[in-house]
Chains A and B, each alone.
Chain A
Amino acid sequence: MATHVTGLGLVSSMGLDVQNNWSALLAKRSGIGPLTRLQTRHNVPAGEIKETNAELAGLLGLDTRKTYSRTALLGMMAAKEAINDAGIDPSRMKVALVSGTSVGGMDLSEQYFTDLHEGRRTHLRYLFEHDCGASTFRIAEYLGIRDFITTISTACSSSANAVMMADRLLHSQDFDAVVVGGTDPLCKFTINGFTSLMILDHEQCRPFDDSRNGLNLGEGAGFLVLQREPGKNHSYCNLLGYANANDAFHQTATSANGEGPYLAMKGAIEKAGLQPADIDYVNAHGTGTGNNDLSESTAMGRLFGSQLPPFSSTKVYTGHTLGACGGIEAAFCAMMLKNDTIIPTFNFKTPMHELAVRPETEVKTNAGIKTIMSNSFGFGGNVSSLIFGI
């Protein structure tokens, strides 16, 4: 029972569609820079999309007097591109939507409480977009998807977990297609949250480098269309396997021996019926925090031994897009397979002193990649790995 990736949609600080994202990745052009749209006292670089909510609503052809959270707007844009790319019509087919998000409509909740605090007139309807499901509901409404809609919220692994559920739905309940991915906005809530945890780097993030000093946040959405047959327009790759494991170590940090990540990667390889040696590339979670990169490298070392496949983190391009990163990076992986190209990380100079592993630092074309893995790790110990192949 094959699962074909037949459509892609991407919105990030690198661009508002797949083509702009892919061009930026090939040119090693990061979307991370100073914050100019979001008002915050924290001077941190981030992968910020410069369009305002009203501009995004305009691009989507929405009634700009209506209330849409940024989360919903970003998700609509990427999911719409994905279904157009696949050439599917939800009004004529049985289609499910599974989305992942960590903060839901937080940008509007912030607006509401800020208005209250500053004595401005505000709108209760802002708070009706708060919960995670509300953003998915808006996306479904926009796309005309009614058959099955749900939302997963497992922090930074939300959309990777959504892909797993999507695959199960696709094969068990006669869906013609499942639209799956995730969306998260930049907001004061997460900027202050990660500041309070002291894991935001004040410079550009440096995944797997000894000098790494935290992550950069980002915003965006990434969606895939999954179908049981090759698509009308494309079959980028197949979803071959996946696994979710719980690190069960700490609410926000990953264990030193990377037990959860090890189990997720191992489980995904087993589910795909493969061996570790079959993995040609790993799109690491690679946030750039001291804890994540060491733990993830340790887990990769345990799994792959001395035969560590090429790996990189694309967080240097997008920032950490939280609940969206699993969907965004899955779309990156699909593009890498289709173009037989490895997208590298950059800002890497010195290997970690505890464990010297070297990520890819140059774009590699004709890379000979057939089977690749994408990792996403979240708060609460929720870690997930996906495997795509051609």
Chain B
Amino acid sequence: MKKVFIARTSCISPQESFRTNGFFSSWKAAQAETDQLHAIEPDYKGIITDAGKRRRMAHLIKMGVSTSLDCLTLPDGNLLIPDAIMSATAMGGLEDTEKFLRCIIDNGEDLLNPSNFIQSTGNTFGGQTGLLLGHHGYNVTYAHGGYSMESALTDAMLQLTSGDIKDALVTGADEITATEYEVMRKMGFWRGGRQMGEGSSSFLLTTEKEGSVCELAAVSLLHETTPKQIANSIEELANSNQLKATDIDLVLTGCDCDKAAEKEISDRFPVTDYKQWCGQYGTKSGFGLWIGTQLLSRGIAPKGNQWEQKQLKNIAIYSEYRQNDYTLMLLKMAQIN
């Protein structure tokens, strides 16, 4: 069975992550004073060049399309056309959905703007990416809470390992909307330091080791959810990839609610919380995966509240979404055979 490597990445997040070293040039502490971490948006003009199309795109679509195109842009400026495009979004075009819904109700089902309806479907940024690339290959979008990103990655890995495709673009994106924030606020969700986040992360997955950043060795959805079982499953994941628990140099964690599981993991593994930088959203594990790829490719590691020069070899990414969806991913340095 073929191995899967990550060849290229791109990320828009609440940090300086898009086409910049900003985030890794110094340690950025969590921004504790706010409960919303909004993405730092690039100047979209240079990425989505058609002004008309750009103007019509909602925030989520701009983010998703931008990291997708950026991820495929080769050093010579040409675009790589992948065999397949897999997208992931927990909430889809929530902003357009809400606009259209309010329009239906407030205007008594009259004076409707079809562009809100068109952009409300979950597959809009995946479809738009295909459209802008003129890509006729496989194109699909997963929308299942905290499993969305992992489902898209699993689909890509299944097709890559079987040899059906040689490369795939996988993008996960979600946006902050006022209503979702407000609904969660009324439930008391943002108390205790929780922060809502947003962003888009893209990865070019390939079976070519040459020139890749690292190996994506495993992606798994966990159905056992006691703290001990979750921590055990990290060890099991290591074992099933010919590693010992002690070979896991770092677990990047993104926990929404389950403090007990987080504690159990941190008792048994070196951990760094990735969620502090991106906030909570359904596809935040894409940001965690992006951090993992950057640490391996830049040869840096977290040390206390600093980055240090240190080449890690194996990084696990653990994510939990609203105490419902638990996932694990495993990254290995590509040079290790």
Quick one: given A131-B143, A153-B141, are A249 and B117 in contact (CB under 8 Å)?
no
Whether the Cβ atoms of A150 and B147 lie closer than 8 Å is yes
Docked CA distance A243–B83 (Å): 13
Docked CA distance A102–B186 (Å): 27
Quick one: given A124-B183, A245-B137, are A151 and B144 in contact (CB under 8 Å)?
yes
A29 within 8 A of B: no
Whether the Cβ atoms of A379 and B158 lie closer than 8 Å is no
Docked CA distance A154–B125 (Å): 11
B79 within 8 A of A: no
Docked CA distance A193–B93 (Å): 14
CB B9 to nearest CB in A, in angstroms, measures: 23
In the complex, what residues of B have CB within 8 A of residue A136's CB?
144
Whether the Cβ atoms of A197 and B114 lie closer than 8 Å is yes
Whether the Cβ atoms of B101 and A132 lie closer than 8 Å is no
In the complex, what residues of B have CB within 8 A of residue A109's CB?
97, 101
In the complex, what residues of B have CB within 8 A of residue A248's CB?
130-131, 133-136
Partner of A150, one of B105, B114, B122, B151: B151
B237 within 8 A of A: no
Whether the Cβ atoms of A153 and B117 lie closer than 8 Å is no
Partner of B139, one of A151, A172, A244, A250: A244
CB B263 to nearest CB in A, in angstroms, measures: 24
Whether the Cβ atoms of B221 and A153 lie closer than 8 Å is no
A259 within 8 A of B: yes
B108 within 8 A of A: yes
Task: Kindly identify, within residues 201 to 236 of chain B, every residue whose CB is under 8 Å from any CB belonging to chain A.
Answer: 221, 223
Docked CA distance A196–B85 (Å): 29
Quick one: given A41-B109, A379-B121, are A132 and B144 in contact (CB under 8 Å)?
yes
In the complex, what residues of A have CB within 8 A of residue B187's CB?
124
Whether the Cβ atoms of A153 and B135 lie closer than 8 Å is no
| Nearest opposing residue in chain B for A322, CB measure | B121
In the complex, what residues of B have CB within 8 A of residue A148's CB?
221, 223
CB B154 to nearest CB in A, in angstroms, measures: 8
Whether the Cβ atoms of A40 and B121 lie closer than 8 Å is no
Docked CA distance A20–B133 (Å): 45
Task: Kindly identify, within residues 173 to 196 of chain A, every residue whose CB is under 8 Å from any CB belonging to chain B.
Answer: 188-189, 192-193, 195-196
Q: How many residues of A contact B (CB 8 A)?
A: 60
In the complex, what residues of A have CB within 8 A of residue B102's CB?
113
Docked CA distance A106–B105 (Å): 13
In the complex, what residues of A have CB within 8 A of residue B147's CB?
133, 149-150
Whether the Cβ atoms of A247 and B140 lie closer than 8 Å is no
Whether the Cβ atoms of B145 and A137 lie closer than 8 Å is yes
Which of A104, A169, A192 has the most CB atoms of chain B within a 10 A radius of its CB?
A192
In the complex, what residues of B have CB within 8 A of residue A127's CB?
179-180, 183
B23 within 8 A of A: no
CB A97 to nearest CB in B, in angstroms, measures: 10
Whether the Cβ atoms of B143 and A153 lie closer than 8 Å is yes
Quick one: given A132-B122, A152-B140, A379-B118, are A246 and B135 in contact (CB under 8 Å)?
yes
Residue-wise, chain B 83-101 has the 8 Å CB interface mask toward A (1 for contact) of 0010000111000010011
A114 within 8 A of B: yes
Partner of B109, one of A40, A243, A247, A259: A40
In the complex, what residues of B have CB within 8 A of residue A244's CB?
138-140
Docked CA distance A248–B97 (Å): 23
Docked CA distance A252–B101 (Å): 19
In the complex, what residues of A have CB within 8 A of residue B131's CB?
246, 248-251, 380-381
In the complex, what residues of A have CB within 8 A of residue B106's CB?
117
Partner of B92, one of A153, A169, A252: A153
A37 within 8 A of B: no
Partner of A263, one of B124, B134, B136: B136
Whether the Cβ atoms of B142 and A42 lie closer than 8 Å is no
Quick one: given A146-B223, A151-B142, are A251 and B101 in contact (CB under 8 Å)?
no
27 inter-chain pairs at a CB distance below 8 angstroms, sorted by A residue, are: A41-B109, A113-B101, A114-B105, A124-B183, A131-B90, A131-B282, A134-B145, A137-B144, A149-B147, A152-B142, A154-B141, A188-B109, A189-B100, A192-B109, A192-B117, A196-B114, A196-B117, A197-B118, A243-B138, A244-B138, A246-B137, A248-B136, A251-B128, A379-B127, A380-B121, A381-B131, A382-B141
10 A-B pairs with the lowest CB-CB distances in the bound complex, closest first: A380-B127, A133-B144, A153-B122, A193-B117, A151-B144, A196-B114, A132-B143, A153-B143, A196-B112, A246-B139
- Chain B residues proximal to chain A, CB less than 8 Å: 85, 90-92, 97, 100-102, 104-106, 108-110, 112-114, 117-118, 120-124, 126-128, 130-131, 133-145, 147-148, 151, 154-155, 158-159, 161-162, 179-180, 183, 186-187, 221, 223, 282, 324
- Chain A residues proximal to chain B, CB less than 8 Å: 40-42, 102, 104, 106, 109-110, 113-114, 117, 124, 127, 130-134, 136-137, 146-155, 161, 165, 168-169, 172, 188-189, 192-193, 195-197, 243-252, 259-260, 263, 378-382
Known A131-B92, A133-B90, A192-B100; 6 more pairs at CB < 8 Å: A131-B145, A189-B120, A196-B114, A246-B85, A247-B136, A263-B136
